[in-house]
Amino acid sequence: MMLVKLLILLSFLCLSLTGGGTLALATDKIIKIDGSSTVYPVTEAVAEEFNKATKGKVKVTVGISGTGGGFKKFVRGETDISNASRPILAKEMEEAKKNGITYIELPVAFDALTVMVHPSNTWAETLTVAELKKIWEPEAQGKITNWNQVRPGFPDAPLKLFGAGADSGTFDYFTEAIVGKAKSSRGDFTASEDDNVLVQGIAGDKNALGFFGYAYYAENKDKLKAVAIDAGKGKAVLPSEATVIDGSYYPLSRPIFIYVNKKSLDTRPEVKEFVEFYLKNAAKLAKEVKYVPLPAEAYEAAMKRFKAGKTGTVFGGTPEVGLTIHEVLKRELKE
Amino acid sequence: MNNLETLISRSLWQDRFFNVLGILCTCVGLVTLLALLVDLAVDGATRINWQFMTSFPSRFANKAGILSAWVGTLAVMVVTAGAAIPLGIAAAIYLEEYAGKNWFTDFIEINIANLAGVPSIIYGLMALGLFVYKFHLGESILSAGLTLGFLVLPIIIVATRESLRSIPADIREASYAQGATQWQTVWSHLLPYATGGIATGVIIALSRAIGETAPLVTIGALTFIAFLPPTPIQATPPFLSLDWIWSKFTVLPIQMFNWVSRPQKEFHLNAAATGLILLVMTLSFNALAIYIRYRMRQRIKW
């Protein structure tokens, strides 16, 4: 009885005390980062190392609200850096302009999608983008249900499809690259936001076909077989670090980005220090978390853009498929 | 005569059938919990050690830990309890003991029932607009605790009301007969007797809150955070500091979610271990409540 009364009184006391509190932590050096969960492992690695290097004097925080959610905060000026698995969109650019936010767009690593089949699948060694489109476009729903419909000569076996869930950036990019329009896809496939579920699904069904991030394939090479992709040039390319870096694994690889708020950069030296640290160490750290790093000269070009403080995006608000990293860095920036 | 016997034997058979059915139904719940615990323990037990409990997130699965997550979860729960328990109990006392029977009371009651059914993500959106932007509480432990506090408020209100209602009217009448005021009756008689039920409600509420992820991600809970909130106890007067409620934070379910979705298997083990810790935390909350209830019941002498 006394205990409860005491608890009640204490909690009231707590509440009344908090009312008078102020933001006591404003003096701390905090770098706020939020955004894509695809970029997260790389940024986490950099933040971890930066934390060690500065002995915890600068506090870096990283959230995973997704690329869209991250940009929502970024264009309001609530975060210093935004992780993005796709370029900033026109809508978000407009919002940023309205709030007086300018930003520097920096590619930090590659993300490659892998098309996968069961290891005992002997027929689908390669697939063309056209064949993939035939399988995944919305019109295929309920119609393309057998492997022999994909290419003459393929066996008469049911086609079981697995893919990333509709809320993920992976799904957006795959549909954009294969079907030609983001989010445009058939709906009758096993979808999951968790790529590990897809790994299980494909590994357990010899008629399966699916797609997901390269890192998940790299971890499960014994259970899955990657399909070489032929973009119509007559040459099929398997995903690997080398083919992603030289741009020949087309169109299923893309650079991922960080966006840095220019104002944070100009007013707070620790933000500048962090981004420089990021670009200097990204190659090594991306590899450690099983991502494909950019070529060395790309990091140099990004560093040059950063040091010159050049703001804006090279994409102009519409995502593009299959841009090589050189194009991403050479093109003209637009605000 | 014969007819009666068959009737009796049929009834007995139905009785036995229901008994077995009841046991089976109970087992479904128990077996699920057990399976969950065993599965998590098999995967995660190897990862649970001092290093895991005292390290910050890391890109290396075997160096990563949940220090910021369990401290965050604990801190958020303290704020949640501090906000929801007094508010919930006070609201329940008002509704049960003071409120007149009129349309306004009905209106409140319907809305409390409705609130209990609102999906948690909606609370997150409300909190983002209200606490984070409007009141400028920031993406802090305070915002998170208040959000979850609101989320579980209906549970506490309903449990407290049930508990107050189950106290015999004699108790109230005896108290009034001695000349006690309504407040004295509530404070000295009703609340102590209701404590068992209230404690149960509080526990159910906190157990629900501890596993929530969606509303916290909405208001800006972090995933990587390599520092702890300032300590509540300080060396200089006034010794107690509430700065920690303004701190940024992460919680166990978010860390789990992040690790489950990683490609490397070692991270999946971390997730299982985190799940185990989360379960242990929830179960120890429950144990505490059961103990409090037991102590309270012992003292009640009607």
| pLDDT score, position B253 | 92
Which of residues A9 and A67 earns the better pLDDT score? A67
| pLDDT score, position B295 | 82
> Which residue in B195, B264, B265 is closest to A4 by CB distance?
B195
| pLDDT score, position A156 | 92
- Based on the domain organization, do B172 and B23 belong to the same domain? no
Report yes or no on A201 lying in a domain.
Answer: yes
Residues of B in contact with A220 (CB under 8 A): 263
User: Could you tell me where the DSSP H helices lie in B166-212?
Assistant: 169-177, 182-185, 191-210
Looking at the structure of chain A, the number of domains it has is 2
Residues of B in contact with A285 (CB under 8 A): 59
Residues of A in contact with B247 (CB under 8 A): 25
Residue of chain B with shortest Cα separation from A60: B225
Alpha carbon distance A75, A140 (integer Å): 38
- Based on the domain organization, do A137 and A217 belong to the same domain? yes
Both tokens of B204, joined, read 């159910």
| pLDDT score, position A8 | 53
Closest by Cα among A267, A25, A284, A170 to B225: A25
Q: Pick the last residue of a domain from A181, A206, A238.
A: A238
- Based on the domain organization, do A135 and A54 belong to the same domain? no
> Which residue in A1, A12, A18 is closest to B86 by CB distance?
A12
Is the pLDDT at A22 greater than 50? The verdict is no
Closest by Cα among A320, A321, A273 to A80: A273
- Based on the domain organization, do A120 and A100 belong to the same domain? no
- Based on the domain organization, do A98 and A123 belong to the same domain? no
Alpha carbon distance B52, B61 (integer Å): 10
| pLDDT score, position B138 | 84
For residue A251, which phi and psi values (nearest 5 degrees)? -100, 20
- Based on the domain organization, do A267 and A194 belong to the same domain? no
Alpha carbon distance A107, A299 (integer Å): 8
> Which residue in B138, B248, B263 is closest to A219 by CB distance?
B263
- Based on the domain organization, do B58 and B175 belong to the same domain? yes
Residue of chain A with shortest Cα separation from B189: A1
- Based on the domain organization, do A166 and A81 belong to the same domain? no
CB-side exposure of A119: number of CA atoms within 13 Å?
10
| pLDDT score, position A27 | 56
- Based on the domain organization, do B38 and B57 belong to the same domain? no
Residues of B in contact with A212 (CB under 8 A): none
| pLDDT score, position B22 | 93
Nearest CA-CA distance, residue B170 and chain A, Å: 20
- Based on the domain organization, do A216 and A231 belong to the same domain? yes
Domain at B219, CATH number = 1.10.3720.10
Is the pLDDT at A9 greater than 70? The verdict is no
| pLDDT score, position B291 | 86
What is the ipTM for the molecules in this complex?
Answer: 0.75
The sign one gets for the Cα dihedral B83, B88, B94, B97 is negative
- What pTM value is reported for the model? 0.80
With a pLDDT cut of 90, the percent of chain A lying above it is: 43
Identify the band that residue A325 occupies on the pLDDT scale cut at 50, 70 and 90: confident
The verdict on a CB contact (< 8 Å) between B243 and A21 is yes
Which of residues A327 and B29 earns the better pLDDT score? B29
- Based on the domain organization, do A218 and A104 belong to the same domain? no
Nearest CA-CA distance, residue A319 and chain B, Å: 25
- Based on the domain organization, do B17 and B162 belong to the same domain? no
**Residue B86 at interface with chain A, using a CB cutoff of 8 Å:** yes
* Cβ pair A186, A331 in contact under 8 A: no
| pLDDT score, position A323 | 73
- Based on the domain organization, do B244 and B193 belong to the same domain? yes
- Based on the domain organization, do B66 and B151 belong to the same domain? yes
Is the pLDDT at A81 greater than 70? The verdict is yes
Alpha carbon distance B215, B232 (integer Å): 25
Residue of chain A with shortest Cα separation from B187: A5
Residues of A in contact with B225 (CB under 8 A): 59, 61-62
| pLDDT score, position A116 | 92
**Residue B238 at interface with chain A, using a CB cutoff of 8 Å:** no
- Based on the domain organization, do B114 and B94 belong to the same domain? yes
> Which residue in B86, B198, B296 is closest to A11 by CB distance?
B86
- Based on the domain organization, do A118 and A217 belong to the same domain? yes
The verdict on a CB contact (< 8 Å) between A219 and B265 is yes
- Based on the domain organization, do B133 and B34 belong to the same domain? no
CB-side exposure of B13: number of CA atoms within 13 Å?
6
- Based on the domain organization, do A212 and A121 belong to the same domain? yes
The verdict on a CB contact (< 8 Å) between B261 and A37 is yes
Nearest CA-CA distance, residue A251 and chain B, Å: 22
Both tokens of B39, joined, read 């599965």
Coil/strand/helix, residue B124: helix
Lowest mean pLDDT among A109-123, A294-308, B9-23, B240-254: B240-254
Which of residues B241 and A51 earns the better pLDDT score? A51
Size of the A and B interface in Cβ pairs below 8 Å: 120
- Based on the domain organization, do B35 and B143 belong to the same domain? no
Report yes or no on A18 lying in a domain.
Answer: no
pLDDT in tens, chain B (302 residues): 578 888 999 999 999 999 999 999 999 989 998 998 898 888 888 888 888 888 898 888 888 889 999 999 999 999 999 999 999 999 999 998 898 888 998 999 899 888 888 888 899 999 988 998 889 888 889 999 999 999 999 999 999 999 999 999 898 999 999 999 999 999 988 988 888 889 889 988 998 899 888 888 888 888 888 888 888 877 666 777 778 888 888 999 999 988 988 888 888 899 999 999 998 888 888 888 788 778 877 776 65
Is the pLDDT at A24 greater than 50? The verdict is no
CB atoms within 10 A of CB B125: 15
| pLDDT score, position B116 | 85
* Cβ pair B215, B121 in contact under 8 A: yes
| pLDDT score, position A65 | 84
* Cβ pair B90, B183 in contact under 8 A: no
Looking at the structure of chain B, the number of domains it has is 2
- Based on the domain organization, do A155 and A65 belong to the same domain? no
Report yes or no on A3 lying in a domain.
Answer: no
Q: Which domain holds residue B36?
A: 2-45
Both tokens of A155, joined, read 């066996």
Domain at A199, CATH number = 3.40.190.10
Residues of A in contact with B124 (CB under 8 A): none
- Based on the domain organization, do B162 and B16 belong to the same domain? no
The verdict on a CB contact (< 8 Å) between A56 and B268 is no
Is the pLDDT at A16 greater than 50? The verdict is no
Report yes or no on A156 lying in a domain.
Answer: yes
The verdict on a CB contact (< 8 Å) between A288 and B59 is yes
The verdict on a CB contact (< 8 Å) between B85 and A11 is yes
**Residue B222 at interface with chain A, using a CB cutoff of 8 Å:** yes
The verdict on a CB contact (< 8 Å) between B292 and A3 is yes
| pLDDT score, position A5 | 53
**Residue B163 at interface with chain A, using a CB cutoff of 8 Å:** no
Coil/strand/helix, residue A229: strand
- Based on the domain organization, do A144 and A209 belong to the same domain? yes
**Residue B147 at interface with chain A, using a CB cutoff of 8 Å:** no
Q: Residue B292: which region, alpha, beta or left (left: phi > 0; alpha: psi -120 to 50)?
A: alpha
Length of chain A: 335
Q: Pick the last residue of a domain from A238, A264, A284.
A: A238
Report yes or no on A17 lying in a domain.
Answer: no
**Residue B227 at interface with chain A, using a CB cutoff of 8 Å:** yes
- Give residue-wise pLDDT tens across range A159-183: 999 998 877 778 888 998 899 888 8
**Residue B268 at interface with chain A, using a CB cutoff of 8 Å:** yes
**Residue B224 at interface with chain A, using a CB cutoff of 8 Å:** yes
Fill in the DSSP letter of residue B175: H
Residues of A in contact with B220 (CB under 8 A): 34, 63, 65, 73
- Based on the domain organization, do B146 and B40 belong to the same domain? no
Report yes or no on A130 lying in a domain.
Answer: yes
Sheet with strand A126-128: strands edge to edge: A126-128, A228-230, A236-237
- Based on the domain organization, do B57 and B18 belong to the same domain? no
Q: Which domain holds residue A44?
A: 28-110+255-334
**Residue B132 at interface with chain A, using a CB cutoff of 8 Å:** no
Residue of chain A with shortest Cα separation from B289: A4
Q: Pick the last residue of a domain from A211, A238, A265.
A: A238
CB atoms within 10 A of CB A280: 13
Residues of A in contact with B299 (CB under 8 A): 1
Computed over its alpha carbons, how large is the radius of gyration of chain A? 23
Nearest CA-CA distance, residue A333 and chain B, Å: 30
Residues of B in contact with A10 (CB under 8 A): 82
